[in-house]
Structure formats: C-alpha cells, structure tokens
Amino acid sequence: MNDPVDPYFPPQVYDWFWWIVLPVFLLLLAAWIILSRVIAKRAAQPMEAPPAPVIKRYVPPPDAGPKAFARIDRVRRRFEAGDIDTRDAHIELSEIVREFGYQRTGIDARSMTLEELRESRLVPIADAVSGWYPIAFAPDPDAGIGPALDSARGVVQAWS
C-alpha cells in the first residue's frame, strides 16, 4: 500500500496566545452576565420618591390697605401744606402703590419697570404709575394731584 496520499492528518496546532484569549473572553462573558443581572435587579427595585418641596403660601398683611390709605392721605396733606410739590407727590404715590402691591401679592413691585409690572399681573399698578410718569418726569409740573390721588385710592380699594 503505497498510497501517495496519506489519509492521516495530524491535529491543528494553535498558537500560544489563543490559550490566553479564550479564558479572558470567558471571564468577560461571565462578568457581563453577572453585571447585567445586578443592574436589572436594581432597576426593578422601586425607587423612593424625593420628598415634595415645601411651598410657603404668601399671606398678605391684613393692615396693608388701611396703611396705604393713610399714606395717600398724608401725601395729600403735605401737598396742600406746600411741603412737597406735584412731582414729589406723584413719586411718593408711585412708591405707596408699588409697596402696597408688594404687600398684597408678594411680588416685589417696588423697583419693576412698567413692562415688568404688566407681565407680573400687576396691571392696575402699571396703569396708575404710567399715568403719573409724565408728571413725575416733567421739567416743570404744574398739574394738581387730585386725579393721581383718586387713581392711587382706586388701586388700593380694588385689592383691599
């Protein structure tokens, strides 16, 4: 039997680094399976909701209206006595109405622009103050303060 083709093939010999790659791959596979189960178990646990934030409700002072009316009357008396001029009376009325709005709503209207007042739902204050601006910033105001006193009282009366 001199067969020129030898039917016997020896086993394939693998390089040495495959003996390192195989165990490392098996370890990584086992680690991935374990980690995925741990993560899945944590995700399945119900999470405790954070505590609800404490919202303090603004409570306006009960005497804001009477104090504002008293301050408006004080401006009228000072104007009639000649202690303040028309410009100063309008500026003080603006301060009174803005302070009253702050006390009634909790929105700090004391330094807001007219646009900010309108955006902050303080439209009555914005309307009153916008009517006083031309007089408060006029070079020589000579108008009386009767309409300004009426509009200031109207704003305070609407929220009292």
Count of residues in the chain: 160
Token pair listed for 146: 């009767």
Distance (Å) of CA 103 to CA 64, 108, 129: 7, 8, 17
DSSP 5: S
Q: Where are the alpha helices (DSSP H) in 1-159?
A: 18-44, 64-81, 86-105, 114-119, 123-136, 146-159
Write down the pLDDT at residue 25. Answer: 93
The band of 3, judged by pLDDT with boundaries at 50, 70 and 90, is: low
Give the amino acid at 69: F
**Would you kindly state where each structural domain of the chain is located, as residue ranges?**
64-159
Write down the pLDDT at residue 77. Answer: 92
Write down the pLDDT at residue 139. Answer: 64
Stated as kind and residue range, the H or E segment containing 95 is: helix 86-105
Q: Which residue has the tokens 């609800």?
A: 52
> CB-side exposure of 46: number of CA atoms within 13 Å?
3
Neighbours of 103 (CB within 10 A): 18
Write down the pLDDT at residue 136. Answer: 62
For the stretch 44-94, pLDDT in tens is 777 777 888 877 777 778 888 899 999 999 999 998 898 888 888 888 898
Give the residue-averaged pLDDT of 13-20: 82
The band of 6, judged by pLDDT with boundaries at 50, 70 and 90, is: low
Helix 86-105 and helix 123-136, axial crossing angle in degrees, nearest 10: 160
Residues 93/149, Cβ–Cβ less than 8 Å = yes
* Sign of the four-CA dihedral 73, 79, 80, 86: negative
pTM of the model: 0.61
